[in-house]
Amino acid sequence: METMEIALDLLRLDFLNPRFSFFNFKTEEEVIDYLKKFEQLDALVTSINAYGYKTLGERIIVIKDEDDCYIVLEGNRRVAALKEIHVGSLRTFTVPADIVLDREDALFKIASKHIASIKEWSPVEKRAFYSNQFEAAMKEGKEAK
């Protein structure tokens, strides 16, 4: 795992995130709108504006994609809030991130945080997480044959 600062304009929200993977969003704007309506994104924006973006022990987790951008596996709400705040300066504002090689490298951290911890997922979001893991395992099993 590598740690580095990544510009906001290189960060992409993860459409497979259990919070919104059931909705088949096509754009980040759709995801951000959902987060505003149902996941208290505006409260997070207010908090960051008031207290700053503090990352002590809470770097986002990303994976590099084929376009040399980074998909946010952990920290989608924080990144969405920062994108709302820094609309005109996405290229210059950077976020500390842990870069993992694949989604599996991030699973333990993500699951331990959201299954029964700080920002616990709803039952539907937990179901989406487990469903996504099951589907990935089934696909991997079929490809191995």
The residue ranking higher by pLDDT, 77 or 122, is: 77
The residue ranking higher by pLDDT, 108 or 118, is: 108
**What DSSP character marks residue 23?**
G
For residue range 37-63, list pLDDT tens digits in order: 999 999 999 999 999 988 767 899 999
* pLDDT for position 128: 85
- Residue 74: phi and psi, rounded to 5, are -135, 125
HSE, side-chain direction, 13 A CA sphere, residue 135 = 8
What are the angstrom distances between the C-alpha of 43 and each of 10, 15, 37, 117, 118?
Answer: 24, 22, 11, 19, 16
When the pLDDT of each residue in the chain is averaged and rounded to a whole number, the result is 88
Instruction: Give me the mean pLDDT over the 23-44 stretch.
Output: 95
* pLDDT for position 114: 63
CA angle 34, 40, 45 (to 5 degrees): 105
